[in-house]
Amino acid sequence: MTSFRPETRTIACRDRIMDFKQGPKIMGILNTTPDSFHDGGAFEQKEDHPAETPNPTDRTPNRLNLTSGCLDLTSGRLNLTSGCLNLTSGCLNLTSGCLNLTSGCLNLTSGCLNLNTALDHALTMLGEGADIIDIGGESSRPGAIPVNTEEETQRTAPLIAMLRQHTDAIISIDTCKAEVAEAALLAGADIVNDISGFTFDFNMAEVCARHKAPVILMHTPSKPESMQWSTGTPTGEGDIVETVINFLQQAIERAELAGVTGIIIDPGFGFGKSVEENFTLLRRLKEFRRTGRPILAGVSRKSFLGNAIQKEGKSAPPTTERLNATITAETLAILNGADIIRTHSVKAAAECRLVIQAMQRQF
């Protein structure tokens, strides 16, 4: 298989194009999960959540058109036809047939998602240089508690629909559930980012193919709830690079067999890998060009970076204090062949990209 050359490749993202001719792309992370406070502070726990008053500057549009109909936000309510979101496999019933969007606040079973705060964070990242916004509604950190399909859809689809009204940038849905992906694609998402490489939900490939959506296929050896942090994960006996490449080759074959054409790969930094294995993947990232696919690197704030900068006798720095380590790792990732950087710190990553490109222009 020939090596992937980003300068000569574009990927069709439904109605948009991801063009690598201008260099690596920056993907900004926007999580709408209870433990994502450092990703923008968009989610508030339901306990003791204060009542909200109408906001005259609320940018929630009254109507968001979808392929299959529309989401009616009149009077601050998200009304779905017949009280359900119709999917190929049936329908996803929503409690009371509506989502409360009073003052741009989405009331969920587990808490309240402030859509305006989330939207502001997304637009800020785009202004800082993000080419893609990756929206997720379920935490994939080690030990994370799984979220049901209805809750994850409620956390993501309305936000995607809102963001689509404000930008023509590429929007990615970070999910491993086919029903969540379909709802997101109907709401305006362009790419599906599946951490399981199509192994958690075997309907995912068909949904992506039917919607002509490109995919990001990541390697993970297990589900997040059963994983350990990198510092608690033992190093395996085999070659981690070969193990991950073999997994991704199989994932690519599954995607192609289903009719998916646009495929990006992700080695899955931090997912079921030891500190040593993560650094091995980072050092040998160029070897993933054997797949002939663009490479995404998601190293932002990962525990193996925290371990690397941990001072003797001290605890590892929290995620909010890993910016310098993250920039260093993202620089190495680009120099070692990454075509997309998935990051919490968009401005820093975008400036990192500019410095690398300035250096490369000298040769």
**Which pair of structure tokens corresponds to residue 307?**
């371990």
pLDDT value at 165 more than 70: yes
How confident is the model at residue 114, as a pLDDT? 81
**Which pair of structure tokens corresponds to residue 89?**
């496999």
Q: Write down the CATH number for the domain with range 6-44+116-360.
A: 3.20.20.20
What is the tens place of the pLDDT at every residue in 88-116? 333 333 333 333 333 345 555 556 678 88
210 given a catalytic annotation = no
Percent of the chain at pLDDT > 70 equals 76
Average pLDDT over residues 276-295: 96
pLDDT value at 293 more than 80: yes
pLDDT value at 224 more than 50: yes
- Which one is catalytic: 177, 289, 293, 302? 302
Contact (CB, 8 A) for 241 and 280? yes
User: Distances from the Cα of 192 to the Cαs of 13, 14, 174, in angstroms?
Assistant: 10, 11, 6
Report DSSP letters for 241-271, one per residue.
Answer: HHHHHHHHHHHHHHHHHHT---EEEE--TTS
**Which pair of structure tokens corresponds to residue 314?**
């001290």
How confident is the model at residue 86, as a pLDDT? 37
Q: What's the CA gap between 20 and 165, in Å, rounded?
A: 25
Parse the chain into domains and list their residue ranges: 6-44+116-360
**Which pair of structure tokens corresponds to residue 126?**
């785009």
Instruction: Identify the band that residue 122 occupies on the pLDDT scale cut at 50, 70 and 90.
Output: very high
Q: What's the CA gap between 115 and 113, in Å, rounded?
A: 6
9 given a catalytic annotation = no
- Which one is catalytic: 155, 301, 322, 342? 342
Least confident of 18-32, 59-73, 262-276, 285-299: 59-73
How confident is the model at residue 313, as a pLDDT? 94
Q: What is the pTM of this model?
A: 0.82
**Ramachandran assignment for 287, one of left (phi > 0), alpha (psi -120 to 50 degrees), beta (any other):** alpha
Contact (CB, 8 A) for 221 and 272? yes
Radius of gyration for the chain, computed over Cα atoms and rounded to the nearest angstrom: 20
Other C-beta atoms lying within 10 Å of the C-beta of residue 138: 24
Between residues 187 and 5, which one has the greater pLDDT?
187
**Phi, psi at 343, each rounded to 5°:** -145, 155
How confident is the model at residue 143, as a pLDDT? 79
Between residues 165 and 84, which one has the greater pLDDT?
165
**Phi, psi at 132, each rounded to 5°:** -140, 140
How confident is the model at residue 57, as a pLDDT? 39
How confident is the model at residue 108, as a pLDDT? 57
CA 56 to the chain's CA centroid: 31
Average pLDDT over residues 160-187: 97
